[in-house]
């Protein structure tokens, strides 16, 4: 099947939105992706994560079975844990070096306590804490997938809406994730799941309901609805008679109704516009967004690490508008460059990176030993080309000619 590049471009816009929010908040460069009230890159990231999970795993379940998809889901959770652990250890190191204020966390007593808190996901830096929420939501897929296999998407959707209602009016303490023990709450996962679980259902039914075609056919109406809700939200909630209820309607911690409705009407509109653009013009115009969106998890980790590293290694806040713009472009450029490197080297899975990078070294060592053995060891010498190529044979050929469109099997990664 062909990869839907409009999804990757939309994810790239979500990454750009997060980067500009963290590095250029208030600058003009951040305005285009923050014009819709109460919708930001984080909410779009969560929605698209659920959508892609449902889209990819539905096909895997049909072709490989539930056990296979559970294995892939567990591997994905392990990858998320490693990424969040990396960010937590970076926060611990920053705190131990005297830069704890950059993470918005209280300093730890020592490396021992810091390591324990990092391993237990109890030390989450600001700008790098979404992955724990992502892990919690993705874990729910273990229970949701068997229900979707049976066709019970309606009860799943009803349960998601009911849980969201409880989260808004009577949320218990265990609904909340915290950055550190006794620290401030960072997300109400039961509120945020209204982005993830319904999106998982949409991804599951995507082809059966021909939703891509429907969005494209009715795109003017989709865009008008999104624009109308944006205008109404601004003039009623942000700067209107309902402003007194803004703390409820637009709260990010609880994920208020204005955020939920806004994201759900904006994402289809953006996706449809990206789809039209890609059909009319060269995808190279959108390559930075396309590539960073293809590797959205990598891009998120890069921006989270940069959020700690830039103030330490370059210059601390406050930043001028010029510096904010430069940092935002630089970080996004790094995300794009890394995605291009992965494509050029054929690194589909990060755990294969040591094998791919080590293959040429191993081949050279094998050839050197074979040459040193000389004619006295014809068996070794004659087999050296095969030995040299053995590690490389496991590496997919580099698709250097890729221009944005490529064939992917059902085994393609779940991003």
Q: Is the pLDDT of residue 203 over 60?
A: yes
| Cβ proximity of 19 and 303 under 8 Å | yes
User: Do 229 and 374 share a structural domain?
Assistant: no
Q: Are residues 370 and 326 in the same domain?
A: no
pTM of the model: 0.84
H-assigned helices in 207-320: 211-217, 219-233, 246-249, 257-280, 287-294, 296-313
What is the C-alpha separation between 165 and 58, in angstroms, rounded?
A: 28
pLDDT at 97: 87
What is the C-alpha to C-alpha distance for residues 27 and 69, in angstroms, rounded to an integer? 43
Residue 406: pLDDT above 60? no
205 and 311 inside one domain = yes
Q: For residue range 171-194, what is the model confidence (pLDDT) as tens digits? A: 999 999 999 887 789 999 999 999
What is the arithmetic mean of pLDDT over 405-412?
A: 44
Which residues on adjacent β-strands are paired with residue 2? Answer: 407
CB 160 within 8 A of CB 197: yes
For the chain, how far is it from start to end, CA to CA, in angstroms?
16
pLDDT of residue 134: 96
Distance CA 285, CA 267 (A): 20
Which residues lie below 8 Å from residue 410, measured CB to CB, with a gap of 6+?
A: 1, 56, 59, 60, 63, 64
> How far is C-alpha 351 from the geometric centre of its chain's CA atoms?
17
One domain, residues 284 and 365? no
pLDDT higher than 90, residue 366: no
Specify the pairing of strand 176-178 against strand 185-188: antiparallel
pLDDT, mean of residues 60-71: 95
pLDDT given at position 118 = 94
What's the rounded mean pLDDT across residues 22-32?
A: 94
Instruction: Please state, in angstroms and as integers, the Cα–Cα distance from residue 34 to each residue in 116, 254, 317, following that order.
Output: 37, 19, 22
Beta strands in 77-236 (DSSP E): 176-178, 185-188
Asked whether residue 406 is assigned to any structural domain, the reply reads no
| Domain co-membership, 262 together with 393 | no
Answer whether residue 400 shows pLDDT above 50: no
What pLDDT shows up at residue 103? 80
Q: Is residue 404 assigned to a domain?
A: no
Q: What is the pLDDT of residue 374?
A: 59
Count of beta carbons in the 10 Å neighbourhood of residue 179: 23
Please tell me the total count of domains within the chain: 2
pLDDT tens for residues 281-306? 889 999 999 999 999 999 999 999 99
- One domain for residues 55 and 181: yes
Digit-coded pLDDT (tens) for 78-109: 999 999 999 999 999 998 888 888 888 888 88
The neighbouring-strand residues paired with 204 are none
CB 121 within 8 A of CB 33: no
Same domain, 299 and 393: no
Residue 267 has pLDDT above 90, yes or no: yes
Q: What is the rounded average pLDDT for all residues in the chain?
A: 87
Cβ neighbours around 297 below 10 Å, total: 20
């Amino acid at each position: 099947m062909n990869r839907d590049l409009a999804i990757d471009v939309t994810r790239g816009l979500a990454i750009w939105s997060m980067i500009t929010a963290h590095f250029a908040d208030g600058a003009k460069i951040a305005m285009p992706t923050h014009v819709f009230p109460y919708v930001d890159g984080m909410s779009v990231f969560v929605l698209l994560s659920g959508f892609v999970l449902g889209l990819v795993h539905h096909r895997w379940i049909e072709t490989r079975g539930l056990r296979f998809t559970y294995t892939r889901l567990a591997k994905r959770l392990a990858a998320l844990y490693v990424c969040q652990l990396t960010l937590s250890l970076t926060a611990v190191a920053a705190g131990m070096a005297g830069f704890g204020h950059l993470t918005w966390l209280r300093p730890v007593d020592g490396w021992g306590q810091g390591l324990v808190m990092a391993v237990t996901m109890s030390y989450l830096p600001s700008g790098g804490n979404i992955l724990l929420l992502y892990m919690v939501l993705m874990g729910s897929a273990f229970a949701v997938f068997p229900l979707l296999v049976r066709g019970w998407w309606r009860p799943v959707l009803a349960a998601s809406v009911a849980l969201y209602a409880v989260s808004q009016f009577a949320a218990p303490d265990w609904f909340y994730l915290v950055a550190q023990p006794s620290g401030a709450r960072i997300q109400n996962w039961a509120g945020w799941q209204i982005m993830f679980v319904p999106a998982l259902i949409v991804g599951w039914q995507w082809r059966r309901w021909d939703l891509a075609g429907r969005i494209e056919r009715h795109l003017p109406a989709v865009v008008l609805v999104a624009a109308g809700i944006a205008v109404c939200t601004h003039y009623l909630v942000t700067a209107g008679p309902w402003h007194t209820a803004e703390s409820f309607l637009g709260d990010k911690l609880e994920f208020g109704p204005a955020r939920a409705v806004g994201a759900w009407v904006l994402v289809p509109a953006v996706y449809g516009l990206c789809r039209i653009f890609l059909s009319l013009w060269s995808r190279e115009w959108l390559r930075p967004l396309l590539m960073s969106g293809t590797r959205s998890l990598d891009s998120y980790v890069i921006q989270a690490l940069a959020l700690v590293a830039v103030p330490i290694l370059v210059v601390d806040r406050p930043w001028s508008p010029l510096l904010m713009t430069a940092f935002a472009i630089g970080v996004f450029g790094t995300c794009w460059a890394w995605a291009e490197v992965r494509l050029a080297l054929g690194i589909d899975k990060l755990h294969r990176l040591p094998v791919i990078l080590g293959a040429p070294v191993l081949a050279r060592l094998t050839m050197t030993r074979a040459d040193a053995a000389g004619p006295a060891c014809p068996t070794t010498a004659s087999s050296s080309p095969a030995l040299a190529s053995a590690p490389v044979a496991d590496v997919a050929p580099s698709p250097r000619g890729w221009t944005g469109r490529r064939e992917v099997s059902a085994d393609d990664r779940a991003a």
